[in-house]
Amino acid sequence: MNKLLPTLALLCSLTAQAELRATGDLGLIIEREDSAALIVNTTTHNQLAEIKGLGDLSHASVVFSRDQRYAYVFGRDGGLSKIDLLQDQLAKRIVQAGNSIGGAISQDGKLIAVSNYEPGGVKVFAADTLELVADIPADYAPGKRSKVVGLVDAPGQKFVFSLFDAGEIWTLDMKNPQKPAIAKFKNVGKEPYDALMSPEGRFYIAGLFGESGLALLDLWDTDKGVQRILPTYGKDDGKLPVYKMPHLEGWAMASDLLFAPAIGKHEVLVINKRDWTLLKAITVVGQPVFVMARPDARQVWVNFAMPDNNQLQIIDVKYLAVTHTLTPGKAVLHMEFTPRGEQVWVALRDDNQVVVYDTATLQEAARLPAKHPNGIFFSSRAHKIGF
The verdict on 224 and 139 lying in the same domain is yes
The predicted structure's pLDDT at residue 244: 53
- For residue 1, pLDDT over 90 is answered with no
pLDDT of residue 350: 96
Res 192: pLDDT: 93
> Are 263 and 212 in the same domain?
no
Answer whether residue 107 is part of any domain: yes
Rounded Cα distance, 25 and 85, in Å: 11
pLDDT at 287 > cutoff 70: yes
The span from the CA of 340 to the CA of 344, in Å, is 10
Q: Do 318 and 188 fall into the same domain?
A: no
Range of the domain at 130: 96-235
Q: Which amino acid is at 283?
A: T
**Least confident stretch, 50-59, 180-189, 254-263, 318-327:** 254-263
The 10s digit of each residue's pLDDT in 232-273 is 876 666 555 655 556 666 677 877 899 988 888 899 999 999
113 and 187: one domain? yes
DSSP state of 384: S
Phi-psi region of 167 (alpha: psi -120 to 50; beta: other; left: phi over 0): left
Contacts of 357 by beta carbon, 8 Å cutoff, 6+ apart: 326, 328, 343, 344, 346, 363, 364, 365
Task: Flag whether 113 is in a domain.
Answer: yes
Binning pLDDT at 50, 70 and 90, where does residue 191 land?
very high
Answer whether residue 103 is part of any domain. yes
82 is a domain residue: no
Residue 15: pLDDT over 90: no
Using the 3D structure, point to which of 279, 303, 327 is the last residue of a domain. 327
Lowest mean pLDDT among 88-92, 254-258, 318-322: 254-258
Residues near 364 by beta carbon (within 8 Å), at least 6 away in sequence: 355, 356, 357, 358
Q: Is the pLDDT of residue 7 over 60?
A: no
- Kindly state whether residue 305 falls inside one of the protein's structural domains: yes
| Residue 14 pLDDT | 39
How much is the pTM?
0.92
150 and 267 belong to one structural domain: no
Are 210 and 104 within one domain? yes
Judge contact between 354 and 376, C-beta under 8 A.
yes
pLDDT on residue 238? 56
pLDDT of residue 16: 43
- Tens-place pLDDT, residues 44-71: 999 999 999 999 999 899 999 999 999 9
Residue-wise pLDDT for 339-371, tens only, equals: 999 999 999 999 999 999 999 999 999 999 999
- Indicate if 179 and 274 belong to the same structural domain: no
pLDDT band at 167 (very low <50, low <70, confident <90, very high): very high
The stretch 157-165 carries a mean pLDDT of 97
Q: What pLDDT, on a 0 to 100 scale, did the predictor assign at position 297?
A: 92
Which range of 99-103, 257-261, 315-319 scores highest in mean pLDDT? It is 315-319
The answer to whether residue 302 is domain-embedded is: yes
Residues 189 and 307 in one domain: no
What's residue 38's pLDDT? 98
Q: Report the percentage of the chain scoring pLDDT > 70.
A: 91
Mean pLDDT, the chain, whole residue set: 91
What is residue 19's predicted lDDT score, i.e. its pLDDT?
Answer: 64
Are 146 and 156 in contact by the 8 Å Cβ rule? The answer is no
Count the domains in the chain: 2
What pLDDT score does 8 carry?
A: 47
Are residues 149 and 268 both part of a single domain?
no
What mean pLDDT is predicted for residues 107-118? 97
**What's the confidence (pLDDT) of residue 146?**
97
3-state helix, strand, coil in the chain (%, to 5): 10, 50, 40
In this prediction, residues 209-234 reach a mean pLDDT of 91
pLDDT at 6 over 60: no
* Residue 213: per-residue pLDDT: 87
